A and B are shown apart, each in its own frame.
Chain A
């Protein structure tokens, strides 16, 4: 396996290579890469408004990344983050709309509802895996579709009166931040980023500092030895999926209570859950890595919106850059090999 220096170097080199090849693609398609990346940086961090939007963009990526990473550390591949995020979103909005309570109770309750809904949604593939050995990848993929259509149904027929969107959640359940909005010239930045960062810290503590995390990691690396050591492998599989789903659901709550402030009929998947897989991969499944990778994704995605305006480079180019980065992280052996050759050459 790789040593620790490599676990840091590989994503960094992947990012560098992704940007480099992106530059080559820009040159080949007749754009100036310096202008392109300049626009990307300006569009993500160049003005307070853009910074606000970038931070807002990063928030759900952190949660989606943590969700995928958490399951991954226990040896499970949670492709269902997208669906868990959607149910978490609608659950938080629902609680936001259904109650009239002081903010100090209402907001935490709405956020918790998101986490619980996501957790329940992930519990199903977890229990199926633990009891019947049904592969979680298949179940979670299918659960995404169920979530999408269920949520759309709820929005249209249960929470709203045959509308395309629900009402806005009241102030008492809203994460919206007039303070940040004013600070960032009406960006959609909300308080969710602090919850996301707290989520990353909780992720770290659960996995690295608690006996439960010890067990989850142990099961992730070696189910057999964990079983021999007296751990309940099935319980850990379910627990891992539930916690993973809770992170995903929280990501949804951030969208439902913060970014949008309402639920709506989704024509298609938001893609945040799927990007979470890439974020987790790039972040090496550790908390700080996921936060950094989410930041990178947020910057790229936000900057991409402004790139065509400022430099004429199409937004799809950023998708290419992201794809190349993921390609190199996924094929990290190539980079490990190159590093080795490089070291040999230096000797």
Chain B
């Protein structure tokens, strides 16, 4: 066979664990090959071996049939292997071109020939349809563009094989579409791609073949054509996975959250939420659908007291929240699973146990006479770790050391355990694998069934459609429609999210 990359029987150990055990991955020229696995299955380790960041204990790597020994990323680059990391390796204050040439600057005498470099970058950008401005500063361009700058960087260094580590995790639906287009152009230009992901839809949409690994072991390599999401998911998780979360019909009761005429400005002082009305009842999950940047973050920050409102009112169980501080709002019965768990959800350098009392540490029994009671804190932590299946060596482990899914479970456990009347979940499953997503969705539904109100914000339509009892579409800071998920389609929602006011299939309800 005509393989450009062969990783044969790779084994990589870390103290105490085998991250990769006897994994084989073969990449054909001109194909998009998916590497599928749950968080922590060993995908990144395998790719870091290929990229020269780790040395395998066993197994061999061949590039175009030649056995090679990749001891550093530089050697990987020389062999035509480029990697686009999940967390970009870019200098914010440099331009795209400066970032691209960093480390291999074209010299003119002693100075860097930036003109020449810019021209080259422009050429590559045009050729692959990346439409990146070589002179733009990284700090000024969108995340999607930054990713393209990373792609350009690998191409500039002559990569033939591109590894993408979870490239869609940070992108908007529109950007994902564009990325898929870029993949196709790359393939047409003779490149080969390895795509690390746990999103089944993406695999089915773009990939030719898929290699599934589970808990460090290679499970199977199969053609994507003919494979079903259910099949791939069960290969990945090792058991049957239900895609549509089972739930009974909602029984909405009293109004819990009532927002009327809300106006909020964003950090730059521009109106982000405009005259917004919204009601969430107990016993229902209200999903907010919308393209990122339409006022969702500001809306949530306003409800939780993190952002000042310009006008309007927010009431919880009939009591005014708008003038209260975050702590009072939390105490009044609002739970908040923030969108960015690293930045807003956790103190990463704290033990996971301390993170579980991040809002309640000052209350009894965790504090008495403002002295902390570590015994009670750890008891609570142990309880939540067990209840919410947070996989951590102990409650003393730093939150930083946990995987994304377990960090999220810790946050969700913390918020749900307080049993708030209103639970706000912003992107609660972002970047998580199928198993964790299922677990979290079930927890949200359990809250609803207990008669609590849940406000779900997500950019993933599938999640919104699956979990919500009612969908409110937000556009430019305003709720432009409220639809019943059973009576709508992704197409219709997509149109609404894009600002189209047509509501043919959906029925408009008064909120």
A and B touch in the complex (CB under 8 A): yes
Cα-based distance from A1 to B306 in the complex (angstroms): 30
B325 interface neighbour in A218, A225, A230, Cβ under 8 Å:
A230
Cα-based distance from A210 to B345 in the complex (angstroms): 22
Interface residues of A in 217-275 (CB under 8 A from B): 217-218, 221-222, 224-232
Cα-based distance from A209 to B398 in the complex (angstroms): 18
Interface residues of B in 250-289 (CB under 8 A from A): none
Binary interface encoding of chain A residues 1-43 relative to chain B, with 1 for a CB under 8 A from any of its CBs, else 0: 1000000000000000000000000000000000000000000
**B-side contacts of A214, CB under 8 Å:** 354, 361-362, 372
Interface residues of B in 282-334 (CB under 8 A from A): 304, 306, 325-331
A229 interface neighbour in B359, B366, B367, B370, Cβ under 8 Å:
B359
- B53 within 8 A of partner (CB): no
Given A1-B400, A229-B359, A230-B325, does the pair A224, B370 have CB atoms closer than 8 Å?
Answer: no
Interface residues of B in 333-362 (CB under 8 A from A): 336, 338, 343-350, 354, 358-359, 361-362
Jot down 11 A-B pairs with beta carbons below 8 A, ordered by A.
Answer: A1-B398, A210-B367, A212-B370, A214-B354, A214-B361, A218-B347, A222-B343, A225-B347, A227-B326, A229-B330, A231-B327
- How distant is B49 from chain A, measured CB to nearest CB, in Å? 17
The answer to whether B371 touches A211 (Cβ under 8 A) is yes
The answer to whether B370 touches A225 (Cβ under 8 A) is no
**B-side contacts of A227, CB under 8 Å:** 306, 326
Cα-based distance from A217 to B354 in the complex (angstroms): 11
Given A228-B326, A229-B359, A230-B326, does the pair A210, B372 have CB atoms closer than 8 Å?
Answer: yes
Cα-based distance from A1 to B400 in the complex (angstroms): 9
Cα-based distance from A230 to B348 in the complex (angstroms): 17
The answer to whether A226 touches B371 (Cβ under 8 A) is no
- How distant is A214 from chain B, measured CB to nearest CB, in Å? 5
- How distant is B152 from chain A, measured CB to nearest CB, in Å? 30
**B-side contacts of A1, CB under 8 Å:** 349, 398, 400
> Which 8 A-B pairs rank lowest in CB-CB distance, beginning with the nearest?
A230-B327, A211-B367, A229-B358, A230-B326, A211-B362, A221-B349, A228-B344, A222-B347
The answer to whether B347 touches A226 (Cβ under 8 A) is yes
> Apart from A215-B361, A221-B347, A222-B346, what are 7 other A-B pairs with CB-CB below 8 Å?
A1-B398, A210-B367, A211-B371, A218-B347, A218-B354, A225-B343, A229-B326
- Contacts from B to A (Cβ < 8 Å): 304, 306, 325-331, 336, 338, 343-350, 354, 358-359, 361-362, 366-367, 370-372, 398, 400
* A interface size (C-beta, 8 A): 22
> Which residue among A212, A224, A227, A230 has the maximum number of chain B CB atoms within 10 Å of its CB?
A230
Smallest Cβ-Cβ distance to B345: which chain A residue: A225
Cα-based distance from A208 to B347 in the complex (angstroms): 16
> Which residue among A210, A211, A213 has the maximum number of chain B CB atoms within 10 Å of its CB?
A211
Smallest Cβ-Cβ distance to A213: which chain B residue: B372
Cα-based distance from A225 to B367 in the complex (angstroms): 20
The answer to whether A230 touches B359 (Cβ under 8 A) is yes
Given A210-B371, A214-B361, A228-B304, does the pair A221, B326 have CB atoms closer than 8 Å?
Answer: no
- How distant is B301 from chain A, measured CB to nearest CB, in Å? 9
Cα-based distance from A232 to B324 in the complex (angstroms): 13
Cα-based distance from A139 to B159 in the complex (angstroms): 50
- How distant is A51 from chain B, measured CB to nearest CB, in Å? 36
The answer to whether B359 touches A221 (Cβ under 8 A) is no
The answer to whether A217 touches B367 (Cβ under 8 A) is no
Cα-based distance from A221 to B354 in the complex (angstroms): 13
The answer to whether A225 touches B361 (Cβ under 8 A) is no
- How distant is A229 from chain B, measured CB to nearest CB, in Å? 4
Given A1-B400, A214-B354, A228-B338, does the pair A209, B347 have CB atoms closer than 8 Å?
Answer: no
- How distant is B364 from chain A, measured CB to nearest CB, in Å? 11
The answer to whether A210 touches B346 (Cβ under 8 A) is no
Cα-based distance from A224 to B400 in the complex (angstroms): 16
The answer to whether A228 touches B370 (Cβ under 8 A) is no
- How distant is B108 from chain A, measured CB to nearest CB, in Å? 35
Cα-based distance from A208 to B304 in the complex (angstroms): 28
Smallest Cβ-Cβ distance to A229: which chain B residue: B358
> Which residue among B325, B331, B344, B354 has the maximum number of chain A CB atoms within 10 Å of its CB?
B344
Smallest Cβ-Cβ distance to B401: which chain A residue: A1
Smallest Cβ-Cβ distance to B400: which chain A residue: A1
> Which residue among A1, A226, A229 has the maximum number of chain B CB atoms within 10 Å of its CB?
A229
- How distant is B413 from chain A, measured CB to nearest CB, in Å? 15
**B-side contacts of A226, CB under 8 Å:** 347, 358
- How distant is B418 from chain A, measured CB to nearest CB, in Å? 12
B346 interface neighbour in A211, A225, A230, A232, Cβ under 8 Å:
A225
Given A209-B371, A212-B370, A218-B358, does the pair A225, B326 have CB atoms closer than 8 Å?
Answer: no
The answer to whether B400 touches A211 (Cβ under 8 A) is no
Smallest Cβ-Cβ distance to B361: which chain A residue: A214
Cα-based distance from A224 to B336 in the complex (angstroms): 14
**A-side contacts of B398, CB under 8 Å:** 1
**A-side contacts of B348, CB under 8 Å:** 221-222
Smallest Cβ-Cβ distance to B349: which chain A residue: A221
Cα-based distance from A214 to B370 in the complex (angstroms): 10
Smallest Cβ-Cβ distance to B358: which chain A residue: A229
- How distant is A320 from chain B, measured CB to nearest CB, in Å? 34
A225 interface neighbour in B304, B344, B366, B371, Cβ under 8 Å:
B344
Interface residues of A in 180-227 (CB under 8 A from B): 208-215, 217-218, 221-222, 224-227
**A-side contacts of B362, CB under 8 Å:** 211, 214-215
Cα-based distance from A85 to B433 in the complex (angstroms): 55
> Which residue among B347, B348, B398 has the maximum number of chain A CB atoms within 10 Å of its CB?
B347
**B-side contacts of A212, CB under 8 Å:** 370
**B-side contacts of A224, CB under 8 Å:** 343-344
Cα-based distance from A317 to B306 in the complex (angstroms): 54
**B-side contacts of A230, CB under 8 Å:** 325-331, 359
- How distant is B372 from chain A, measured CB to nearest CB, in Å? 6
**B-side contacts of A217, CB under 8 Å:** 350
Smallest Cβ-Cβ distance to B355: which chain A residue: A225
- How distant is A91 from chain B, measured CB to nearest CB, in Å? 28
- How distant is B420 from chain A, measured CB to nearest CB, in Å? 13
Cα-based distance from A334 to B28 in the complex (angstroms): 42
**B-side contacts of A231, CB under 8 Å:** 327
A228 interface neighbour in B325, B345, B371, Cβ under 8 Å:
B345
- How distant is B328 from chain A, measured CB to nearest CB, in Å? 8
